[in-house]
Amino acid sequence: MEKNWNETMQFDGLSKELDNEAKRIFLTVYDALQEKGYNPVNQIVGYILSGDPTYITSYNNARSLIRRLERDELLEELVENYIENNRK
């Protein structure tokens, strides 16, 4: 079946339970990266763009935690929080 690129696809989003887990995982991973001396934002972006888990430290189980979520779920969490925190 050929995709119609003129129509908008709809993304159903995360369940509330998964949303809360994503927040917890993001904060845990961020803290672990910061504690180990990395720039957490750069490392998380590297992971999301590449899918390479070595961007995330294994300290405090951060690498295993972040791999529990799909990268599109991580992106959704980031976009949602950005919009919520920057609306005027």
Contact present, 15 and 4 (Cβ < 8 Å): no
Where do the domains of the chain lie? 16-86
| 78, HSE (Cβ side, Cα atoms, 13 Å) | 13
3-state SS assignment for residue 75: helix
Question: How would you classify residue 33: left for phi > 0, otherwise alpha for psi between -120 and 50, otherwise beta?
Answer: alpha
Q: In tens digits, what is the pLDDT along the chain, a chain of 88 residues? A: 566 777 766 555 555 555 678 888 989 999 999 999 999 999 999 999 999 999 999 999 999 999 998 898 888 888 888 898 898 6
Residue 21: predicted pLDDT? 83
pLDDT value, residue 6: 74
What pLDDT sits at residue 22?
82
